[in-house]
Amino acid sequence: MTITYPLLVNALIAGLLMGGFYAALSVGATIAFGLLDIVNIAHPTFAVIGAYAVFVLNRTFKLDPILCGLLLTPVFYCAGMLLYQVYHHFFERRGDDAMRGLAFFFGLMFIAEVALIMSFGVDFRYVHAPYITTTWNFGAIALPLRLAVPFAGSVLMLLTLELFLKKTFIGRAIVAVAQDPFALRLVAVSPVRIKRVAFGIACASAALAGAFIIVIEPLQPAVGREFIGRVFAICVFGGLGSLPGTIVAAVSLGLVENLATIFIGASWSPAVAFGVLLATLAWRPSGLFGRS
């Protein structure tokens, strides 16, 4: 196959746009993993649950899918707070959270997946929105809106989160809880309450990411599994808990994946994320923006 200039540019654009979406999908996991020490391996599956909820809302009320995702964030926020409470009660408090906590989320992931299969079947589902089928063409260069709109949404979401973490009291407390939960108690802030809020936010981000998933591609219950590797590759590569790192890592991954697809072949691209992850873990475990 000859690699033409427009092909390359289109691959780069698609990679950049996918990277933005990957960042939105990973941000919840990186908050939970990097800042709260909760390895929520089920995060991509939570996003798939969000995507199915968006599908139902879109079909029933004819609402825009991304608006549906936004409407779902309070529900996911509350569910996340509840889930954190359960996690805290059974794992964190006992002090042996890492292993059993991981097994807990691993189990939850399969429960959610089977529940989705039983209620929606394994057919591919998709939503209706005018921009999904539209592509803007600039000569030979194409800008598919089904990728561009989630990209814009992702960028907005990450900017909001970054501002929240940097400027508000709760946001700063979330960053602080990662560094020293005891110090937080000295200034009369409950680390458990802060972590609950943070985990709620992480889960709320899954609702929006779910809306992006179903806008980008048709949905089926097991799709969450395909994202686990990418999400954790981005978390680790970006340096845990760092939002700028998450964006850089996600966009690099999107670009590398798309380049790998055109230069090596699509069948090799799943290994790219994991290759990056393994290499990062082996040689620079603190990631690009890690606090060592």
Partner 1 sequence: MSNGRFLVAAAAVAAIVFGIAAWLNVDYLFFAGYVVLQYVVLASAWNILGGYTGYMNLGISAFFALGAYTTVALQIAWKLPLPATIPAAAIVSGLVGLGMGYLTLRLKGIFFAIATLALAVVTETFITNWDYVGGSAGAYLLHPKRGPWFGSYSEYLFLLMLIVAAFSVVVAHAVERSWLGYGFTAIRDDETAAEATGVPTLRLKLVATGLSGALMGMAGAPLPYYVSFLEPASTFNLAYAVNTIAMAMIGGTTTWLGPLVGAVLLATVQQVATVTISSEINLMVVGVLLVGFVMLAPNGIVGLLRDRLRL
**Contacting positions for partner 1 (CB under 8 A):** 39, 41, 86, 90-91, 94, 96, 98-100, 102-104, 106-111, 113-115, 117-118, 225, 228-229, 232-233, 236, 265, 267-268, 270-271, 273-275, 277-278, 281-282, 285
Give strand pairing partners of 138.
Answer: 141
If the CB atoms of residues 91 and 151 are measured against partner 1, the closer one turns out to be 91
If the CB atoms of residues 193 and 225 are measured against partner 1, the closer one turns out to be 225
**Nearest distance, CB of residue 215 and partner 1, angstroms:** 25
**Nearest distance, CB of residue 45 and partner 1, angstroms:** 11
If the CB atoms of residues 116 and 219 are measured against partner 1, the closer one turns out to be 116
H or E element in which residue 250 lies: helix 243-263
DSSP state of 211: H
**Nearest distance, CB of residue 154 and partner 1, angstroms:** 23
In this structure, are residues 28 and 94 in contact, taking their beta carbons and an 8 Å threshold?
no
**Nearest distance, CB of residue 40 and partner 1, angstroms:** 11
Cα torsion for 246, 109, 213, 64, to the nearest 10°? -120
Residue 101 CB neighbours (<10 A): 20
Contacts of 35 (CB under 8 A, 6+ apart): 174, 175, 177, 178, 198, 240, 241
Give strand pairing partners of 136.
Answer: 143
Start-to-end CA span in the chain (Å): 43
Question: CA-CA distance, 13 to 16, in Å (whole number)?
Answer: 5
**Nearest distance, CB of residue 24 and partner 1, angstroms:** 20
**Nearest distance, CB of residue 114 and partner 1, angstroms:** 4
If the CB atoms of residues 17 and 108 are measured against partner 1, the closer one turns out to be 108
If the CB atoms of residues 127 and 277 are measured against partner 1, the closer one turns out to be 277
Question: CA-CA distance, 18 to 250, in Å (whole number)?
Answer: 8
In this structure, are residues 236 and 281 in contact, taking their beta carbons and an 8 Å threshold?
yes
If the CB atoms of residues 71 and 261 are measured against partner 1, the closer one turns out to be 261
Contacts of 138 (CB under 8 A, 6+ apart): none
**Nearest distance, CB of residue 29 and partner 1, angstroms:** 11
- Residue-level length of the chain: 292
If the CB atoms of residues 63 and 85 are measured against partner 1, the closer one turns out to be 85
DSSP state of 13: H
- The residue behind tokens 């919840």 is 28
Structure tokens belonging to residue 86: 């359960």
**Nearest distance, CB of residue 58 and partner 1, angstroms:** 25
If the CB atoms of residues 11 and 42 are measured against partner 1, the closer one turns out to be 42
